[in-house]
Amino acid sequence: MSATVIESESSGSTAILRISGDITSGSEGDLTAAYAAAVDGGARTVILDFAGLAYMNSGGIGLLVTLLVRAQRAGVHLMATGLSDHYRQIFELTGLFAATTTPDAAAPPAPAAGA
């Protein structure tokens, strides 16, 4: 198993996080930190580029779901790109594909007061 490597690139209100290596539950620190840095830098759309992804287990997909939910509640669009056929299938199976590739699905509702 290899480490998660994340390279960040920002342009205006959009940030791209290029992910390579493995995504497991152990990637939480790296991924959360990269996402937080992007949002703190003013990004309202964060694109996760999975072109370099080599391995992902169920802990990794769980991590992506929790990141997606947190992004939605914060009003940040989280998008996915660069998925191989294999990872696209996993995203479809788990519902992540629709939530991270369709702008309408990714668009978060305004947080409800007191919810």
Partner 1 sequence: MSESLPPDQGGRDAGNWARPVDRLSAAGVTGAKVDSVSGKRVSGPLQGFGQLWQKTFKVRLDGSELSPVELIAMWKDRFPTFWPGGSRFYAPLAGIAPGEVALLDVQPVPGSPVKLSTGVMVLYADDESFTFMTPEGHTLSAWITFSAYRDGDVTVAQAQALERTSDPFDELAYMFGANRMNNRFWRQTLENLAKSVGVTAPSVDTQIVCIDKQRQWRHAGNVRNSATLRTARHTLTAPIRWVTRRG
Q: Which residues bind partner 1 (CB under 8 A)?
A: 53-59, 61-62, 65-66, 68-70, 73, 84-87, 89-90, 92-96, 99, 111-112, 115
Is the CB of 53 or the CB of 76 nearer to partner 1?
Answer: 53
CB of 12 to partner 1, least distance (A): 28
| Residue 13 or 55 having the CB closest to partner 1 | 55
41/111 with CB nearer partner 1: 111
Question: Which candidate, 47, 45, 43, 44, places its Cα nearest to that of 7?
Answer: 47
* Three-state DSSP state, 11: strand
- ∠ CA 51-13-106, nearest 5°, is 60
Sheet holding 77-81, edge to edge: 4-11, 14-23, 45-56, 77-81
